[in-house]
Chains A and B, each alone.
Chain A
């Protein structure tokens, strides 16, 4: 599906699946602001959901690979989609561990992709946090 309908469908429908309703500003309605956590010393990606559990979705696999590659960065980022308020969730890294709820969340995926992109461009954790807050906060 191309053109306007395809573009708007890719933005709107995905947000509908996440938020359950139409209208501009859905993502903003989901935002749960708060401080970024400090990366835990020695944190690894051992609990990140493996590629074979991602249903062959190439984009999703690529995102989870970025998280697997940069656990220390992801562990210093707060996820603004609301899962940070869930018991047992510490950081954006948590969204990719165990059941990997990030599989179903565009904000979790966006934060990971943006964090990795900025890290690879040489940005500090503080700069990445500021960008995450501007984009998703």
Chain B
């Protein structure tokens, strides 16, 4: 009889050391993989949730893969959804805050956009026409071939942007606008005490060079021209004072007349002497001093 102990030990060792490897990975490949587009514009968030079908060499997507007349969701699997965190306009049409499913009825000529209030539809659950929907007719555009269906914001502005769907050579742009989170307007009489020439000196970091501010009332706003601009950067040459409360302002910057940036976390606080603003302090979120300014005679 042969001694089987070493063989039994070897077999047991193999069983012990290979058993943890026996658990299979969950299958995860999808023909149309899920994706999310999330874009914030001035505090309003747009979220598109969709699955991304691929052309896979099919050269006739619309009229064949997507038959003419179909109410098609621009995606796959669950219907593509659009969620907006504030009331917005889309192609000039009001859309209330909320979550919606997106559909397009495809035709050889003009298509129909359908935004339905039910965000939980499968791609085969084509919504019937309903008064609660937002619908309009449009002419689809064309562009370079895109293999994987894509949603993206091609352009952004301070008040909105261009949301685009592309698949194959079809390109569908949607202009969206958001409500502004700020007001630039400041009454001329209210601005009068602050107008004049000021000098602002940074109080933090290595930058100690002073900046001259010419504060004026212009185009309904209280505006300062900075010389030199903050940080030596031209985008910080024109400051607008956004009113917050008496003698308190939030600084914003204009480039070519459009809001470039709002320093929401910064406070510009004017201090008065003899009833007249004579000094200013720029403060951070912890109330720490970023800069001090004084009015020039």
Interface residues of A (CB under 8 A from B): 1-4, 6-7, 10-11, 14-15, 23-28, 59, 63, 106-107, 109-110, 113-114, 117, 130-131, 134-135
Contact = CB atoms under 8 A, between A and B. Distances in A.
Contacts of B232: 3-4
Interface stretch (B12-20, B70-78, B210-218, B282-290): B282-290
Contacts of A110: 284-287
Contact of A27 (B207, B265, B290): B265
A117 B266 CA distance: 17
Nearest to A107: B285
23 contacts: A1-B205, A2-B207, A3-B206, A3-B207, A3-B231, A4-B207, A6-B206, A6-B207, A7-B207, A7-B290, A15-B265, A15-B285, A23-B40, A24-B43, A24-B264, A25-B43, A25-B264, A27-B265, A107-B285, A110-B284, A134-B244, A135-B244, A135-B248
A111 to B, nearest CB: 8
Nearest to A11: B265
A59 B285 CA distance: 13
A61 B93 CA distance: 54
A109 to B, nearest CB: 5
Given A24-B261, A27-B264, A28-B264, A2 B287 contact: no
Contacts of A3: 205-207, 231-232
Nearest to A112: B287
A4 B231 contact: yes
Secondary structure class of chain A's binding surface, majority of residues: helix
Contacts of A130: 245
Interface of B is mostly: loop
A11 B230 contact: no
A109 B285 CA distance: 8
A112 B202 CA distance: 23
B247 to A, nearest CB: 11
B204 interface: yes
Contacts of B263: 11
B97 to A, nearest CB: 16
Interface string B261-290: 111111100000000000000001111101
